[in-house]
């Protein structure tokens, strides 16, 4: 079922006004090319933007110039939720999404972001690019008309602290930590007896500086680009959640493309993601190196006690959405 409520319609109208364009048909006899507007909420220094640029170039190459992708970065078309809602309704052709957002349409997507779910990156990749990931994508298409075309490795999330470091699960007790406003994130840190505190990302620097929160969590890229190293003493590599992303296209638009252009878009999206995933480890280490150069203390963390401490939360989350069998399948993938 496509979801169309008043708040969603209002946000999409706002986004459409910002775009200043009508919904465009994918091709017309008056135009020699098919334009695809691709929006994301992240900076132009990000992994996601680099992959989007590669997608743009590959789509043009594989379509012999028929496809022209216009990238709108840094929230120009709204926040991530607004962007995906615009893709759902066809206001935008494409946008950057992730499993936590898709869980609003298909709750089982929430399983993919559970803490300490994956043994390693290969385990994650086998899950999302295999039958499990394909099944979830098909459900999302049926439910919302939003079709993810690939899987981006957004990376592991770690913990930045203003005045101490994390070594054991007990170190999270009563810690005020900034988290995204997501049931998985709030539930994860509540289960560790922390005080999860949603704060908009642009306000996190000041929140850490003034003591509104004691800590935040995120990737090394986020910690560097938002200059969190200036207000945090330590970065503890808790690696608590391995986060994904994807390039999502409006399914009706996708199906109106010519066979040639549909194949070009599909191939370009998958190859751009494959390149991003193959280079991710090297770039992640580069972000850690930059943080260390700025003087933040980085410590390794034994994940096993944290995984044990959050086992009940993972099971409870799966039970609440009626997906314990799917959780087990994810856990057993590749064994």
- Determine whether domain 6-153+243-279 maps to CATH 3.40.190.170: yes
**pLDDT tens, position by position, 125-152:** 999 999 999 999 999 999 999 999 999 9
CB-CB contact of 96 with 81 (8 Å): no
Neighbouring residues of 292: CB distance < 8 A, sequence distance ≥ 6: 298
Superfamily of domain covering 156-242+284-332: Bacterial extracellular solute-binding protein, family 7 (3.40.190.170)
Instruction: Identify the pLDDT of residue 24.
Output: 42
Longest dimension (CA), the chain: 65
Q: What is the pLDDT along the chain (335 residues), one digit of tens a residue?
A: 444 444 454 554 444 444 444 344 444 334 458 999 999 988 898 889 999 999 999 999 999 999 999 999 988 999 888 999 999 999 999 999 999 899 999 999 999 999 999 999 999 999 999 999 999 999 999 999 999 999 999 999 999 999 999 999 999 999 999 998 888 999 999 999 999 998 888 899 999 999 999 999 999 999 998 899 999 999 999 999 999 999 999 999 999 999 999 999 999 999 999 999 999 999 999 999 999 999 999 999 999 999 999 999 999 999 999 999 999 999 999 88
Helix axis angle for 80-89 and 6-19, nearest 10°, is: 90
Summary count for the chain: helices (H), strands (E):
14, 10
What does the pLDDT read at residue 8?
A: 52
Query: What is the DSSP annotation of 70-98?
Result: EEE-TTTT--HHHHHHHHHHTSSSEEEE-
Give pLDDT, residue 26.
44
Name, in order, each residue with C-beta under 8 angstroms of 325's C-beta and a sequence gap of 6 or more: none
Site of tokens 């049926």? 142
pLDDT score, position 225: 86
What is the structure's pLDDT at 95? 98
> What integer pLDDT is reported at residue 11 of this predicted model?
53
Q: At 297, phi and psi to the nearest 5?
A: -85, 130
* Whole-prediction pTM: 0.87
Chain mean position to CA 142: 21
- Apex CA 245: angle with CA 251 and CA 153, to 5°? 135
Domain with CATH 3.40.190.170 in the chain: 6-153+243-279, 156-242+284-332
How confident is the model at residue 32, as a pLDDT? 59
Which secondary structure element, helix H or strand E, spans residue 315, and what is its range?
Answer: helix 311-320
């Amino acid at each position: 079922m496509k979801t169309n409520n008043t708040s969603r319609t209002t946000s999409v109208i706002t986004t459409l006004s910002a775009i200043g364009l009508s919904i465009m048909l994918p091709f017309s006899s008056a135009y020699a090319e098919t334009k695809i507007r691709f929006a994301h909420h992240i900076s132009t220094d990000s992994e996601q933007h680099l992959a989007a640029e590669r997608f743009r170039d590959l789509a043009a190459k594989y379509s012999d110039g028929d496809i022209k992708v216009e990238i709108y970065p840094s929230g120009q078309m709204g926040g991530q939720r607004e962007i995906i809602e615009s893709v759902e309704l066809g206001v935008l052709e494409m946008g950057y999404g992730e499993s936590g957002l898709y869980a609003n349409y298909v709750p089982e997507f929430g399983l993919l972001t559970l803490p300490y779910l994956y043994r390693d990156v290969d385990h994650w990749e086998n899950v999302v690019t295999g039958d499990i990931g394909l099944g979830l994508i098909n459900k999302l298409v049926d439910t919302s008309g939003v079709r993810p075309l690939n899987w981006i490795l957004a990376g592991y999330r770690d913990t930045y602290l203003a005045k101490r470091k994390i070594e054991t699960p007990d170190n999270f007790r009563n810690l005020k930590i900034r988290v995204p406003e997501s049931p998985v994130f709030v539930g994860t840190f509540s289960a560790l007896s922390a005080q999860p505190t949603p704060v908009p990302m642009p306000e996190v620097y000041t929140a850490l500086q003034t003591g509104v929160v004691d800590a935040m969590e995120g990737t090394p890229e986020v910690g560097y680009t938002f200059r969190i190293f200036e207000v945090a003493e330590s970065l503890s590599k808790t690696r608590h959640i391995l986060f994904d992303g994807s390039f999502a296209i409006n399914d009706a638009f996708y199906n109106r493309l010519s066979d040639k252009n549909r194949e070009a878009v599909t191939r370009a999206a998958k190859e751009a993601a494959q390149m991003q995933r193959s280079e991710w480890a090297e770039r992640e280490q580069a972000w850690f190196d930059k943080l260390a150069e700025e003087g933040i203390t980085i410590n390794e963390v034994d994940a096993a006690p944290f995984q044990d401490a959050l086992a009940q939360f993972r099971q409870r989350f799966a039970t609440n959405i009626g997906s314990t069998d799917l959780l087990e399948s994810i856990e057993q993938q590749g064994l």
